[in-house]
Structure 1
Amino acid sequence: MSSPAKHNCSVCSLKKICLPTGVGKDELERLEALVQDTKVHHTSDEVIRQESPFRNLYAVKSGMYKSVKLNDLGEERVVGFHLPGDIIGLDAIYTKTYSSSLVALTTSVLCQFNYDQLVLLSAKMPTLQAQLMRLSSKEINIANAFQNAQTAEQKLAGFIHNLSARNAERGFSSTQLILSMSRQDIASHIGMAPETISRILKQFQSNDILIINKREMKILDPARLLISTGCAHA
């Protein structure tokens, strides 16, 4: 079995999201020596299993993944969607086990960081320590986005708005979205029935807020979408 390929962070289009700001050439080379690409994952591939031992952090290089968590009753819930540049595994640092399973939603690739080696390197690179703290804080903010939404419409509008903002951060269109996840996955993530998702999406289309063609979504009126989240006023 061949070993994963060495990654070249300096030419990666996502380096502004993943890498510490102000990192020097020598520091970058030391960091690159730790990073490896995983094999290509295909739709429905399970990459990490819930409660498996924590050894690595991962960054999404391409594609999209979802995190899925089983409760004590064996019920499954989607707890997150991961776009290119997202770091996966930060919540496992304390418990030393992964709190959820990671499943590919499309043909996707991860960058892999051995955590113990990363800690040793961060002791010599204050900018790397600061970046790990920043990314941990960012993950908390993403998880808490629109958690105060009261209605089903606010929850779904908040999810779409958050996905739009994350796309824009990566240099992608904020109004042309590809929904790699199923409506069942979206429903599981925000805590409502798939039928409710379909009803609200039809309502948003009738109100000319957005249009959907299969898994392609176009946001026609970002301002009204934001108002629908309950976080802005008309």
Structure 2
Amino acid sequence: MRSEHKAGRSPDTYNPIADDGDAEHFCNTCAFSGACLAVGYGKPELAQLHCLVEHFGPYHEGETIFRNGDPFRAIFAVRAGTVKTCLTDEEGREHVLGFYLPGEVIGLNAIYPDHFPCDAVALEDAQFCRFSFPAMSALASRIPAIQHHLFRLISKELGNATLLAGDHSADERMAAFMVDLGERYAARGFSGTHFLLSMSRGDIANYLRLAPETVSRVLSRFRTQGLIDVDGRTLVLRNPAQLRTIGRSLLSK
């Protein structure tokens, strides 16, 4: 990622599509570039990977990228925007499974059933890279860095699926959610302490298995304690260390 995009940019002003890579450099939100560069692979050495990529979008707020039951043929890396994955039960109730930011991959949970087990919905204008999974698997078998990174992504996906299964308080869940979100933004060159919540309070509550009014109460309490500032959908983490302490049972070390 180019240094001028790393500092002082918040998600409401930074457009990752503006830095779309070139013959020598990866797109700044590439889901695989970090792993490849770490072991000495650059874009010229990974021309085969680049040829697998199909850019598509935009999908607008509320539009579906894939649906539960669709055949699994590809994984999707978010280039811009935010996506939620969700399931609708027999009574028509939606269950939010996760949120995905630029540089993150959706669709990995479809590998075993060979079809998508959930819906993926854009929370704002979003664009994607589409990777043919059969072709990606073949390439991964020849390039260890890609294979290892793919395994790490799958492992993380499995871990996220069970993250909130335990008996945790509302404060623990909210603190862990905000810290995790901030760290994921920071890993992609955004501010990790000042960002927009593109997901609604209702979606956050659904994901954390809390009532919407509980989410509002926890946010108000954290603001009173000086841990955060909230202005509409803009969130500022004033004391990330204390939030991490509160949510430590739900966060990786």
Which residue in the other structure is 1:155 paired with? 173
Which range moves more in the overlay, 14-23 or 35-44?
14-23
Q: SS of 1:139's equivalent?
A: helix
- Give 2:226's match in structure 1, choosing from 202, 205, 208: 208
Contact 2:60–2:125 (CA under 8 A) maintained in structure 1: yes
Q: Deviations for 1:177-211, whole angstroms, at most 9, x for unmatched residues?
A: 21000000000100011011111111111111111
- Give 1:139's match in structure 2, choosing from 151, 157, 181: 157
The offset of 1:223, in angstroms, is 1.8
Q: SS of 1:84's equivalent?
A: coil
Q: Specify whether residues 8 and 228 from structure 1 end up closer, same or farther in structure 2 by C-alpha distance, changes over 3 A only.
A: farther
Q: Specify whether residues 74 and 10 from structure 1 end up closer, same or farther in structure 2 by C-alpha distance, changes over 3 A only.
A: same
Which residue in the other structure is 1:188 paired with? 206
Provide the C-alpha distance between the structure 2 equivalents of 1:169 and 1:155, rounded to a whole number of angstroms.
21
The offset of 1:148, in angstroms, is 4.1
The offset of 1:139, in angstroms, is 2.2
Q: Deviations for 1:54-101, whole angstroms, at most 9, x for unmatched residues?
A: 111100001110001123433211100000111111110110011110
Tell me if 1:114 matches 2:129.
Answer: no
Q: TM-score, normalised by structure 2?
A: 0.82
Provide the C-alpha distance between the structure 2 equivalents of 1:20 and 1:101, rounded to a whole number of angstroms.
28
The offset of 1:230, in angstroms, is 4.6
Q: SS of 2:206's equivalent?
A: helix
Which residue in the other structure is 2:41 paired with? 23
User: What are the ranges of 5 or more consecutive residues in structure 1 without an aligned counterpart?
Assistant: 1-5
Q: In structure 2, give the amino acid aligned to 1:154.
A: E
- Give 1:13's match in structure 2, choosing from 25, 28, 34: 28
Contact 1:146–1:229 (CA under 8 A) maintained in structure 2: no
Q: In structure 1, give the amino acid aligned to 2:61.
A: T
Which residue in the other structure is 2:79 paired with? 61
Contact 1:158–1:226 (CA under 8 A) maintained in structure 2: yes
Which residue in the other structure is 2:95 paired with? 77
Tell me if 1:224 matches 2:242.
Answer: yes
Q: Deviations for 1:144-163, whole angstroms, at most 9, x for unmatched residues?
A: 44654621111111111110
Provide the C-alpha distance between the structure 1 equivalents of 2:169 and 2:214, rounded to a whole number of angstroms.
11
Which residue in the other structure is 1:198 paired with? 216
Tell me if 1:165 matches 2:180.
Answer: no
Tell me if 1:128 matches 2:143.
Answer: no
Q: TM-score, normalised by structure 1?
A: 0.89
Which residue in the other structure is 1:48 paired with? 66
Provide the C-alpha distance between the structure 1 equivalents of 2:43 and 2:185, rounded to a whole number of angstroms.
28
Provide the C-alpha distance between the structure 2 equivalents of 1:8 and 1:135, rounded to a whole number of angstroms.
26
